[in-house]
Structure 1
Amino acid sequence: MKQFTLLICSWILALGLTGCGGGGGGDDSSNSSSPASSSENSTSEDDTVTMASIKVAPDYDFTTSQQLEVNIDLRSLTDQRVYVGFYQQWSGDDNSPVPNPDSQLLLQVIDDGLLNQTLTIGKQQQSLLMVVMFADTGISPVTDVFAVDGGEYAYP
């Protein structure tokens, strides 16, 4: 009797699993074995794009950064120590910007009033902020928001 019950349960289970099908809401044409669908699949495989098949103009520039020559002359303002910083991001308007310290590219201390430096910046960068702080607190800080174009910046 136990064997008979076990055989009936196995048989019901087998029929139940077969009846479910196990398929999941996919496109019926992918399960089809007709010649038309197999030729469609082989055509899509032939259209696969590979790195070797991509064509790029010979003069296309793949670099993501650019060089910016910075030339600053502050000798007419002071002969004391000066702190010069360059920032990629700031808040406020261009007349009274507040630099974001996390975006600082360079902070340079200069004693002779001259700074000649090359900065490497991303090509997407359209403008930078320069902040000059003087050791002499009687001189107000200088801020300048400038466009990054041409690869050179000079102040004043």
Structure 2
Amino acid sequence: MTQSKRIYVLDTNVLMHDPTALFKFEEHDVFLPMMVLEELDNNKKGQTESARNARQVSRFLNELVVAHGNRSIEGGVSLLRPNELQLRDTGRLGRLLFQTKPTDISKGFGTVLPDNQILGSILALRVENPATPVVLVSKDINLRIKASIVG
């Protein structure tokens, strides 16, 4: 357990590998860029394990949003663990945050690629939350390298 609250940004490949990753950051917040939602949507078709996992993530996200009710999700939704999941329960829950504002990444990265859109949303998140460490969680080596380059 870390000493200070953090915001973990999950890349699509992490969720497609383990749909329960949403719930594994204890009291910390989890942020999903809009591009991650788009990529999940684009990868949910088919019978592969990755496609099944993408569909499961979508179901988890839907459950969380529905449980939040009619309130605005701009401030995030509680990361309530589904009852059927057998995860270690620390008694502390973070929030699930969504990218709710567009970012103009063309100024900093040139080509508008999914990875660059994710990086742009991370940089915007850091500006909005200067006192909170923002951590990218990705299985994509090149995205992690790009993230290291931009800080």
Q: Which of the pair is proportionally richer in strand?
A: 1
| TM-score (normalizing by structure 1) | 0.20
If asked which structure has higher relative contact order (CA below 8 Å, sep 6+), I would say 2
Q: Which of the pair is proportionally richer in helix?
A: 2
| TM-score (normalizing by structure 2) | 0.21
